[in-house]
């Protein structure tokens, strides 16, 4: 397109749909986002996405969840989209429709069945060494149906090649971050709160809002918060979820700390430069312990 449309309907409220909603909204397009599930970006921590949802609507993006698209029809140089919410049908018209309902692997022409490679639907099954059901044949990337992220595919590729050369490495998907490039950004690593509870952990949660950060105030980016999930008795960090400016950079520090098996107490004791956004991670760790001094008492 040489210029943004005046009105755009995006079908699919996953990562790509939401990122493009913000892009077109910032270019002056009136955006409506249709998502079939109760929550946009259902793969992320609900508390974080609820905060992002509010910010998207604040920016003027219309979000309709539990909206099942039935059909899209040409209409006077544009498109009419018919969808179902509850028991009734609704419709909306726009100049363009952007389909963002996910992706599927392109494996049909590879004759993988002739090689005896086991599939899961159209995805190639691999173990943690990135080896398929046939010894000596490896697969990486989105075609494995794991984390469909560029940095995840790169990590899978390195592990696959090292195993081909005789090493014995396995991938740990809990140590690979998810990054969403919205305004502000969203990033996470490890378990969501509900996932951790389902796995039997007794949890404690630490939070700290950007609006209580000196650096966030100085740069005018006060929306969002950090949420740290840790095991209650030993302080093992199980997951970190961030909504806010620089989230995709801040999550790298969390990945390293979790890789090194740092406890929540050690996170809180680390001394950071001031003012920096990374101090927010310390404050969330201290909040977990009831020791955050830069946040009003509950």
Question: Which residues are within 8 A (CB) of 33 and not within 5 positions of it... i.e. 6 or more apart?
Answer: 10, 13, 17, 18, 21, 40, 56, 61, 62, 63, 64
- Of the candidates 151, 212, 241, 274, the residue annotated as catalytic is 274
For the question of residue 274 being annotated catalytic, the response is yes
Measuring CA to CA, which residue among 247, 215, 227, 246 is closest to residue 287? Answer: 227
For residue 205, give both structure tokens.
């949660």
Residue listed under structure tokens 């008795």: 233
The set of catalytic residues is: 274
């Amino acid at each position: 397109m040489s210029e943004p449309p005046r009105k755009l309907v995006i079908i699919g409220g996953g990562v790509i749909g939401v990122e493009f909603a913000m892009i077109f909204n910032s270019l002056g397009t009136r955006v409506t986002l249709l998502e079939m599930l109760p929550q946009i970006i259902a793969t992320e921590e609900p508390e974080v996405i609820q905060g992002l949802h509010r910010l998207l609507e604040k920016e003027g993006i219309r979000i309709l969840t539990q909206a099942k698209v039935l059909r899209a029809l040409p209409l006077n140089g544009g498109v009419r989209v018919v969808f179902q919410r509850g028991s009734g049908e609704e419709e909306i018209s726009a100049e363009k429709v952007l389909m963002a309902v996910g992706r599927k692997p392109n494996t049909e022409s590879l004759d993988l069945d002739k090689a005896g490679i086991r599939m899961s639907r159209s995805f190639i099954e691999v173990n943690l060494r990135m080896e398929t059901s046939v010894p000596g044949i490896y697969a990486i990337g989105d075609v494995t149906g794991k984390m469909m992220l560029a940095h995840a595919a790169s990590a899978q590729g390195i592990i696959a090649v090292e195993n081909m050369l005789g090493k014995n490495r396995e991938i740990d998907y809990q140590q690979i971050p998810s990054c969403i490039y919205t305004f502000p950004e969203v990033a996470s690593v490890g378990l969501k709160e509900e996932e951790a509870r389902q796995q039997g952990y007794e949890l404690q949660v630490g939070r700290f809002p950007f609006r209580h950060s000196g650096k966030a105030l100085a740069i005018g980016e006060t929306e969002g918060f950090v949420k740290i999930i840790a095991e209650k008795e030993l302080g093992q960090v199980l997951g970190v979820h961030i909504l806010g400016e620089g989230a995709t950079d801040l999550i790298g520090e969390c990945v390293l700390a979790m890789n090194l098996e740092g406890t929540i107490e050690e996170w809180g004791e680390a001394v950071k430069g001031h003012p920096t956004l990374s101090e927010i991670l310390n404050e969330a760790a201290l909040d977990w312990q009831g020791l955050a001094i830069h946040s009003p008492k509950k």
